[in-house]
Amino acid sequence: TQLLEQSPQFLSIQEGENLTVYCNSSSVFSSLQWYRQEPGEGPVLLVTVVTGGEVKKLKRLTFQFGDARKDSSLHITAAQPGDTGLYLCAGAPMNYGGSQGNLIFGKGTKLSVKP
């Protein structure tokens, strides 16, 4: 069974602080996606990383895919209250799209940024 361990589970910080969320697995993924979800809404896709070692930036958010494509991190610089939400990582198994169509989700990191 493929699993994605996400940490920390909860994070409460002050506006302006930096933070990093981690997503780890013993399995190799063909790609990894990060989502942000507001309460009662569906997850919104932030980024997809595909190549081992890849780094993508989205304003104050930096996403990295591990060299071995087993782990990923999300770093937020100078967090703002608008960053508050549930951050989810989701890995696409190696045979995704063929015999396997389900993304493997981490349990999520609930981030609260206080003004």
Partner 1 sequence: KAGVTQTPRYLIKTRGQQVTLSCSPISGHRSVSWYQQTPGQGLQFLFEYFSETQRNKGNFPGRFSGRQFSNSRSEMNVSTLELGDSALYLCASRLGGTNTEAFFGQGTRLTVV
Residue type, 71: D
Stretch that binds partner 1, among 14-22, 31-39, 54-62, 68-76 (CB under 8 A): 31-39
Applying CB under 8 A, which of residues 2, 7, 20, 48 lies at the interface with partner 1? 48
Q: Shortest Cβ distance from residue 107 to partner 1 (Å)?
A: 4
Cα separations in angstroms, 34 against 14, 54, 58, 67, 114: 22, 14, 12, 17, 22
- Binding interface with partner 1 (CB under 8 A): 30-31, 33, 35, 40-45, 48, 88, 90, 92, 96-103, 105-108
